[in-house]
Amino acid sequence: MNQIPDNLAAVQARIAAAVAASDRPAESVALLAVSKTKPIQAVKAAYDAGQRAFGENYLQDALPKIAALPLDGIEWHFIGHLQSNKTAEVAAHFAWVHGLDSLKHAERLNKQRPDDLPPLQVCLQVNLSGEASKGGVTPEALETLAVRVAELPRLRLRGLMTMPDPNSPPDEQRTVFARLRERLLALRDKGLDLDTLSMGMSGDMEMAIAEGATIVRIGTDIFGART
């Protein structure tokens, strides 16, 4: 736990350097601290060091943390695979969803989002690497899904998310990030008001930022290796 503030500062310095190298505004990239599998004390240590946005993959692991940490300004992002039997809890307890890839789940989240909460911020996950084991809407189906999701009143479609194959060469990973940016720009040209590219993790954040990432999802370099 004692290392978390230093780790967080090091990650923020990497982000700042990558943003400067890309000649982008300093505030153009937000850090999402991926706290999946990490204990409540680790999240609190990062919060005390100034971090506010936290990403969780597993609902059963996230809900106790959310209940235990009703802290001012804390923001919870669901970044795991959505299942139909989990959408009600996700809609009720999270501010963002990064892995939305079906109209069915979007409609469930829209219906189940409590009226006293602001619209749920969502990103559509796009499978650009073609991995059968990875979720995400295909590039060919992306526009149709985006248009339908943007019509749902209790959701706010913010942008797109992707994850390249971590075992692929760096140039191929960067190409995936570039293709996601191109998809976002194409949807903007269709009239959709999108502003978010959720892409980049501990090992590839600099490439993602160079290609336009606005949210980087960092876990290991803040909290240490997953247990």
Tell me phi and psi for residue 179, to 5 degrees: -65, -35
What percentage of the chain has pLDDT greater than the value 90?
A: 91
130: Cβ–Cβ under 8 A, 6 or more apart, which residues? none
- pLDDT value at position 134? 76
Q: How far apart are CA 127 and CA 208, in angstroms?
A: 16
Q: Which CATH architecture has domain 4-223?
A: Alpha-Beta Barrel (3.20)
Is there a contact between 89 and 123 (Cβ–Cβ < 8 Å)? no
- The model's confidence at residue 135, banded by pLDDT at 50, 70 and 90, is confident
- pLDDT value at position 151? 98
- The model's confidence at residue 184, banded by pLDDT at 50, 70 and 90, is very high
Average pLDDT over residues 87-112: 98
- pLDDT value at position 227? 62
pTM of the shown model? 0.96
- Name the token pair of 110: 């829209």
- Name the token pair of 67: 């209940």
